[in-house]
Structure 1
Amino acid sequence: MSQEARLRVDKWLWQARFFKTRGLAAELVGSGQLRLNGAHVRKAAQVVKPGDTLTFPQGGRIRVIRVLGIGTRRGPAPEAQALYHDLTPEVPRDPAAPAAGPAPSRRERDRARALKRSALE
């Protein structure tokens, strides 16, 4: 019988560098905000394996992650990024405001003041 790679969900989230501490990962799991393959998870001891999909809130958005592998340690960021595939949909950015252009010259400011004065009279 082959041994399938499995790991606690809180430890995996920590190893994949989604949380700075394992305690923060366990806190998220305990709050019931984590979904494993669409089902709510409330226990940090729940195991994940390659192919599972995790959904959880992080930083004001919902992250959707597919587990690709199980790590042996919490290594550097490139090593951690190899453990998952990010399926989170891109959030469309608001269009930037048009540029205001250069500041008016002194002559233009004087003309604008004169126009306002004549309109008030």
Structure 2
Amino acid sequence: MATQTPPAAPGPRPTQRVDKWLWHARFFKTRGLAAKLVTGGHLRVNGARAGKPARAVGPGDTLTFPQARRVRVVRIEGLAERRGPAAEAQALYHDLSPPEPDPSPAEHVGGGHAGGGRAGTAVSHGPVRAGKGRPTKRDRRKLDLSRPDPLE
């Protein structure tokens, strides 16, 4: 009876620094921002916290990190030699993040998120000039008078 030898491994798994991969995949504008996320302890690779930007990642790894008020979960599909166009970057990963919920009409009371309030809260912004663009100086004065004095 002959013993079978297991097939030889095709070689070492190709890997890349996680900060470099996040930058190549266009999740961050600069590699420094990606590194800051990693050193801050906000990135998980396969469920374990990645402590250093030099952490090696490769195809098959799952990354979890916060980005733009949501948590992103992506599976690495490939590595890149350069930071290419968006279409090339999107081919590097498969997005496993849950879809963003559609904002309800109640969240847009007051003209959107420009009021500085939290999403989902109805905030009165004083005199409103519906569809008339920028407020006049008179409207601004009325708005300033309707706000409480910060020193009181």
TM (normalized to structure 1)?
0.76
- Relative CO higher for 1 or 2, CA cutoff 8 Å, sep ≥ 6? 1
2:52 aligned with 1:43, yes or no? yes
1:45 aligned counterpart, secondary structure: coil
Could you say what the CA RMSD is over the residues aligned between the two structures, in angstroms? 1.2
User: What are the superposed Cα offsets for residues 34-89 of structure 1, whole Å, 9 maximum, x if unpaired?
Assistant: 00000011100100010000000000000000000011110000000000001110
Give distance in 1, aligned partners of 2:77 and 2:103: 32
Structure 2 residue aligned with 1:9:
18
2:138 aligned with 1:92, yes or no? no
Q: 2:63 aligns with which of 29, 34, 54?
A: 54
Q: Structure 1 or 2: larger helix share?
A: 1
Unaligned stretches of 5+ residues in structure 1:
98-121
1:79 aligned counterpart, secondary structure: helix
The Cα of 1:95 is off from its aligned counterpart by: 3.0
Q: Structure 1 or 2: larger strand share?
A: 1
Q: 1:69 aligns with which of 78, 87, 94?
A: 78
TM (normalized to structure 2)?
0.61
Unaligned stretches of 5+ residues in structure 2:
1-9, 107-152
Who wins on radius of gyration, i.e. which is larger? 1
Percent of residue pairs identical: 62
The Cα of 1:17 is off from its aligned counterpart by: 0.3
